[in-house]
Amino acid sequence: MPLDNIERAIKRGSGELKDGSVIEELTYEGYGPSGVALMVDVTTDNKNRTSAEIRKVFSKFGGSMGEQGCVSWMFTPTGRIVLSEEVNDEEKAFEYGSMVNANDIQQEDEKWVLLVEPKDLYTSKDILDKAKVKVETVEIIKVPSTWVSLDGEKAHQLLKLVTELDDHDDVDEVFGNYDIPDADMEKFYEEN
């Protein structure tokens, strides 16, 4: 999120800025190329402007913005805790996962990730803090229940859409149910 948006939100919240506008957190839903479901979390002070801009991005890259609820049923909110690189063995990761009653423990890029119920996210973080376990990230993510596999040109087109959405000033996070091979991802990011 751009620094000026954050500063404006702080001023508005502290009463320094009285322009009558309200900061809102919204989620836009839609479909990308090949029927990929996308959820776009935004923070905006003008939902009409943001809605029009997000709709334009969807259209530009072969997608369509849908109505509220059109894809959210495919996603489950999940608490995600990324442990620091210092936790580098599987046994320790599973020990910490059992301490917080993690639903799943995964390894991503040599880091261990604990997935917990959203309502337990901050309690789990507190438990890990008390045990002196270093944590890199604590967040709520949306995990899809089904996946759409893409490669080649279809993957490239979808990644253009997701990148353009991510680059929008009001967008906080983009979640999708796409599965793209690493080789296609690397090729896209090398070219762009």
Structure confidence at residue 18 (pLDDT):
59
Identify the structural domains of the chain with CATH numbers, from first to last. Answer: 3-73+145-191 (3.30.70.980), 75-144 (3.30.70.980)
Beta carbons of 161 and 62 less than 8 angstroms apart: yes
Of the chain, the percentage scoring pLDDT greater than 70 comes to 94
What pTM does this model have?
A: 0.83
pLDDT tens sequence across 29-74: 999 999 999 999 999 989 999 999 999 999 999 999 999 999 999 9
Beta carbons of 172 and 23 less than 8 angstroms apart: no
Structure confidence at residue 3 (pLDDT):
76
Distance CA 171, CA 28 (A): 10
Average pLDDT over residues 116-120: 96
